[in-house]
Amino acid sequence: MKCPHCKSKLSFSSIKKSLRRPQPCNECEEGYLLTLSMSRMLLLILPVAFSLVMIRPISLHWGIPPSIFTALIVVLYGLSCLTLVKRSIR
Ligand SMILES: [Zn+2]
């Protein structure tokens, strides 16, 4: 993921830390915070719900437990809703 201020790449460990409190960017030293984007959640809820319904017969057809696909879709949904926002550290 990229810094919302200067677009430089951020390390995974510092992004993880920004879940709890804002972290400074290494390049521009501006603060950012990892959060869930509500607008993206609403935008994706329909295709996600649709694919959850559709994946069941397909996975049964392939002989793969549908729960594997369900978990995968939910994880991907959660990850794609994550976004970095500008947040001052002080
Ligand atoms: Zn930056």
Q: What is the pLDDT of residues 16-28, one digit of tens each?
A: 999 999 999 999 9
**Rounded distance from Cα 86 to ligand 1 centre (Å):** 10
CA 43/CA 52 separation, integer angstroms: 15
pTM score, two decimals? 0.76
Per-residue pLDDT reduced to its tens digit, 61-84: 999 999 999 999 999 999 999 999
**Rounded distance from Cα 35 to ligand 1 centre (Å):** 17
**Rounded distance from Cα 9 to ligand 1 centre (Å):** 8
- Do residues 23 and 17 lie in contact, with contact meaning Cβ atoms separated by under 8 Å? yes
